[in-house]
Amino acid sequence: MRLSTRNQLSGTIIDVDLGSVMAIVKVRLDGGDQVVTSSVTKDAALDLDLKVGQPATVFIKSTEVTIGVE
């Protein structure tokens, strides 16, 4: 599969919280303790058969990226 999305981060699923319509999926990124949280439809989570411990790739496509510093 080829994608136009340039921001691709690999990690491991650490939590899948299925709600009535939506699912919250947390992925710990490889090489550290950073976690990315994504909201997906419950149907998508079930279709992908998302499971804790499963390797996953986070794809980030956005028209805006914000950076903060102190």
Domain harbouring 38, CATH code: 2.40.50.100
Residue that has been written with the tokens 């090489």 in this structure: 31
The total number of structural domains in the chain stands at 1
Structural domain includes residue 66 = no
pTM: 0.86
Structural domain includes residue 64 = no
Residue span of the structural domain in which 22 resides: 7-59
In this prediction, residue 65 carries a pLDDT of 74
Which structure tokens are listed for 16?
Answer: 């899948």
Cα separation, 43 vs 21, whole angstroms? 8
Which structure tokens are listed for 21?
Answer: 């319509």
Report strand pairing: 7-18 vs 22-29: antiparallel
Cα separation, 15 vs 12, whole angstroms? 9
In this prediction, residue 17 carries a pLDDT of 98
Mean pLDDT by 10 residues, the chain (70 residues): 87 98 97 94 97 96 81
